[in-house]
């Protein structure tokens, strides 16, 4: 059975006239009649009653008319959906993001994308940077918002989304809160909260190395998974710790963010947008075009976090 036979059958069923149906299908009447006959033979049923004066559709024909219409409608709908997918108008985009990205223009960018491309489903997953990196390489994510250290991979493309300064977060009753600023020596012996080493081993090890280098060793009392957890622990009086400026909007009232004297080299927390090279679908391309408007101006090269010799992190 061929699709053209279904179209010919529908034309005859609607016109109840072979001549008009043939004209509508842009073929001669004899070939159309032959195709209807072949269709009837294949089905083993008479679809039309024919006389010299008129054509009428049989009960079997009426049933098959519903089948033929539904078949063509489903096919045409499927074909159009495939075309829309190829154009990036519908589909699914899998996005990974760091917890702290919520405190950036990331949600605003998602809102704008959904407004411009309502046919694309966003599958948004909160993931640590190391998990995002692997998911991008494995094809389980289309795009990620992760710590810049994890984008320095030959198979990944990236651009800077946000870079902001680190501050020292302390409880309002901590002596440093009154001082209004802090430096490395102020950390000596203090209960300190850091990120889990498993997520950021290089940054963790470089920070510890810096403490040893300066001879100011704080007491690491807790390791946290997110900046928000850090702030909560600091609000509970458990210690002090570094957080980026973007966390100011969710900072508890009892926690103060102090400018920190880095010894001449300002430290930064940076998020990059990352995606797999040579794997940019039309849908992802639409997303990257929109996200560009929400990135910080200028794509400053950033190579390491807590890099005390070259600067940015």
Q: Give the domain extent around 184.
A: 164-265
Residue 139: CATH number of its domain: 3.40.190.10
> Is residue 57 one of the residues assigned to a domain?
yes
Token pair 């102020």 is found at: 186
Establish if 310 belongs to a structural domain: no
Q: Which of 86, 107, 142 is the last residue of a domain?
A: 86
Domain count of the fold of the chain: 3
pLDDT > 60? residue 31: yes
What letter would DSSP give residue 296? P
Strands, DSSP E only, in 203-267?
A: 219-224, 241-244, 255-258, 260-261
Chain position carrying tokens 């079997």: 60
Is the pLDDT at 70 greater than 50? The verdict is: yes
Tell me, what CATH number does 54's domain have? 1.10.10.10
CA 274 to chain centre: 10
Taking residues 155-183, report their average pLDDT. 94
Residue 312: band (very low, low, confident or very high) from pLDDT cuts 50, 70, 90: very low
226 and 200 share one domain = yes
Q: Please state which of the ranges 44-48, 105-109, 207-211 shows the lowest mean pLDDT.
A: 207-211
pLDDT of 310 above 90: no
> What would the pLDDT profile of 121-137 be if each residue is shown by its tens digit?
999 999 999 999 999 99
In a domain, 175, yes or no: yes
Shared domain check, 254 and 169: yes
Neighbouring C-beta atoms of residue 308, cutoff 10 Å: 18
Is 129 part of a structural domain of the chain? yes
Are 305 and 149 within 8 A, CB to CB? yes
pTM attached to this predicted model = 0.71
Tell me what pLDDT residue 300 has.
Answer: 46
Q: Are residues 184 and 110 in the same domain?
A: no
Residue-wise pLDDT for 80-92, tens only, equals 778 877 777 778 9
């Amino acid at each position: 059975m061929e699709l053209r036979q279904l179209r010919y059958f529908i034309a005859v069923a609607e016109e109840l006239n072979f001549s008009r149906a043939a004209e509508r299908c842009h073929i001669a009447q004899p070939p159309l009649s032959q195709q209807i006959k072949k269709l009837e033979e294949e089905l083993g049923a008479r679809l039309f009653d024919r006389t010299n004066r008129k054509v009428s559709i049989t009960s079997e024909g009426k049933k098959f008319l519903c089948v033929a219409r539904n078949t063509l409608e489903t096919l045409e709908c499927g074909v159009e959906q495939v075309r829309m997918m190829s154009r990036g108008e519908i589909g699914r985009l899998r996005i990974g993001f760091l917890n702290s990205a919520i405190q950036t223009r990331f949600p605003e960018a998602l809102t704008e994308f959904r407004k411009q491309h309502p046919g694309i489903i966003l599958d948004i997953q909160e993931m640590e940077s190391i998990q995002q990196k692997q998911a991008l390489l494995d094809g389980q994510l289309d795009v990620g918002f992760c710590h810049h250290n994890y984008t320095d991979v030959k198979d990944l493309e990236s651009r800077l989304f946000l870079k902001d300064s680190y501050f020292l977060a302390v409880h309002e009753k901590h002596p440093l809160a009154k001082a209004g600023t802090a430096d490395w020596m102020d950390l000596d012996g203090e209960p300190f909260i850091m990120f889990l080493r498993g997520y950021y081993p290089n940054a963790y090890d470089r920070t510890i190395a810096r403490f040893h280098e300066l001879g100011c060793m704080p007491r690491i009392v807790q390791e946290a998974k997110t900046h928000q957890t850090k702030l909560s622990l600091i609000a509970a009086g458990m210690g002090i710790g570094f957080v980026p400026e973007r966390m100011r909007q969710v900072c508890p009232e009892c926690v103060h963010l102090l400018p920190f004297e880095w010894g001449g080299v300002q430290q930064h927390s940076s998020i990059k947008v990352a995606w797999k090279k040579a794997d940019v679908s039309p849908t992802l391309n639409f997303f990257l075009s929109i996200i560009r408007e929400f990135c910080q101006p200028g794509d400053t090269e950033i190579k390491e976090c807590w890099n005390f010799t070259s600067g940015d992190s």
